[in-house]
Amino acid sequence: MDRRGAPRKAVLAELREARDDDLHFSDGRIFGSMCTDPLPIARRAHAMFLETNLGNPGYYKGTWRLERKVLESLSRLLQGTNLGGFTVSGATEGNITALWMARNVTHRKTVVYADTAHFSIRKAIDLLGMRGVEVGHDEEYRLDVDTLRKKITKETAAVVAVAGTTELGQVDPIDEIGDLCQGRAFFHVDAAFGGFVLPFLEDLGVRVPPWDFRVPGVSSLVLDAHKMGMATIPASHLLVREAKHFARIAVESPYLTSVYQTSLLGTRNSAGVAAAYAATRFLGRDGYRKLVAKCMRNTKIIAARAEQAGLKLAIPPVMNVLAIRVRDVEGVQRALDAKGWKVSTSRNPPAIRVVVMPHITARHATHFADDFVSACGKVGED
Ligand code: PLP
C-alpha cells in the first residue's frame, strides 16, 4: 500500500478503467452466466443497505424484518409452512449449511447425489468430512431413482437432488426421491437456478412435477436470488422444513447481539437481503412470470434455429438453459468468441451450453442463433 492516499478522481478513474474491461450483461452478448442485470430497484436497495450486517441482528432490526418477510413470501411461493431459514451468500453456502445440518441431525456422514449435481456439493462434502456417493442419471439427465434406491443405506445422512441442473436446466424426480428419503435421510433440494423459474413456469401452465415443499420428504431447499431472482450478488435463500434443526448447527456468539449464530458466515452481507426483498416485492408473481415467459420464448428461438440446422439438443428445453450437441465443442466456442458471443460448455453431455437470461432480448437471441449456426458450419458440424 502506498504511504499517501491517491486523489479521489484518480481512484475513480482507475475503477472506471477496470469496469470498462469487464463484460456487461446489457450488451446482450453473455449466454454463459446464470446471473443477469439486477433490477434497478434491487440495485437501489443494495446501495441503501451497504453497511448492514445480519451477523449482528440486534443492531439491524429493520433489515432483520425484511429478511423475515422475504422468507415468509418465499415459503408461500414454495408451498411450505413455518419454514426456518435465512438469506445466504449463494447456493454454495446454502448447500454447505444444509449438509452441515444433515450431518449433525442424523449423526451420519454419507451424502448421495447425482453426477449432474453442482460441484459445490463436492466442496461441502470435503469441508464437512463427509463421504460422497455419486449416482448416475437416466437418458434425460435426471438422477436415476433405481440406482438411488440401492444406494440409500443406514449410513446415509443426506440425499441431494437438483431442480434446474447447472448444465442442462433439468429437474430431478424430486417427488419420487422424496418418497425414498422420508423417514430415512435428510433430503436437500438444490434449486439455485430453478427456484425462481419453476413456480412461474407452473403459472404459465407448464406441467411441472412437484419439486418443492409440497413433496413431504423434502427437508431443505436453496434458491438463488442473484440468478433468476433478479437481485444483486450475493443473495440466495436457504429454507428448512424443521426450523428446530438449526439448533444442531448453532454456535454461541458471545460478543454479538444474538446468543447463538446458526449461519456459516459471521458478518453477513445484508444488502442482498434488501435487494431480494425489493425484487420480490416489486415484481410479484406476475412480474416473474413475464420474465420467465420472455426467457423461454428467447430460448425457443435459439433451440428452433439450431434444430432447423440439423443440430441436436441434449434434452428439449425444460427451462432457459440449452445444451446443443456439437462434435467440436471447443472449436464452436472459439468461433463464437471471435464474434463476441460468450457461451460456456457442458461436460455431460459434451455440448455448447447456452443460458438465456432476462438481459437477452429476442433480437439478441435471433442474432446469436444465426451466428451459432454459421459457427457450427465453419467448424464442420452438420
Ligand atoms: N447449485 C447449482 C444448481 C448451480 O447452478 C450453482 C451455480 O451456478 C450453484 C449451486 C452455486 O451457486 P453460487 O454460485 O450462488 O454459490
Q: pLDDT digits over 168-225, tens only?
A: 999 999 999 999 999 999 999 999 999 999 999 999 999 999 999 999 999 999 999 9
- Tens of pLDDT, residues 82-116: 999 999 999 999 999 999 999 999 999 999 999 99
- Tens of pLDDT, residues 266-276: 999 999 999 99
Report the C-alpha gap between 299 and 213 in whole angstroms: 28
> Distance, CA 226 to ligand 1 centroid (Å)?
10
| Whether residue 378 has pLDDT greater than 80 | no
Domain boundaries, the chain: 8-39+282-378, 53-280
The pTM is what? 0.97
Task: Give the residue, out of 166, 170, 211, with the most ligand 1 atoms within 8 A of its beta carbon, to mutate for a pocket test.
Answer: 166
Instruction: Determine the topology of domain 53-280 in CATH.
Output: Aspartate Aminotransferase; domain 2 (3.40.640)
Of ligand 1's atoms, which has the minimum distance to the CA of residue 34?
A: 8
> Distance, CA 102 to ligand 1 centroid (Å)?
19
Strands 260-261, 131-135: parallel, antiparallel or unpaired by DSSP? unpaired
State the cell numbers at 201: 413456469
Q: What is the mean pLDDT of the chain?
A: 97
What is the rounded radius of gyration, in angstroms, for the C-alpha atoms of the chain? 22
% of the chain surpassing 70 pLDDT: 99
Amino acid (1-letter code) at residue 76: R
CATH of 8-39+282-378, one of 3.40.309.10, 3.40.630.30, 3.40.50.620, 3.90.1150.10: 3.90.1150.10
Report the C-alpha gap between 36 and 25 in whole angstroms: 6
**Quick one: pLDDT at residue 381?**
64
Q: Which residues of 95-104 are buried (b: 16+ CB within 10 A; e: fewer)?
A: bbbbbbbbbb
pLDDT bucket at 380, cuts 50 / 70 / 90: low
**Quick one: pLDDT at residue 255?**
84
**Quick one: pLDDT at residue 94?**
98
State the cell numbers at 91: 447456493
Report the C-alpha gap between 264 and 246 in whole angstroms: 11
Of ligand 1's atoms, which has the minimum distance to the CA of residue 166?
A: 5
Of ligand 1's atoms, which has the minimum distance to the CA of residue 227?
A: 15
Q: Distances in Å between the alpha carbon of 131 and those of 158, 182, 183, 184?
A: 10, 21, 20, 17
State the average pLDDT over residues 317-327.
97
**Quick one: pLDDT at residue 48?**
98
Q: Which residues of 273-292 are buried (b: 16+ CB within 10 A; e: fewer)?
A: bbbbbbbbeebeeebbbebb
State the average pLDDT over residues 349-359.
97
Report the C-alpha gap between 20 and 223 in whole angstroms: 31
| Whether residue 67 has pLDDT greater than 60 | yes
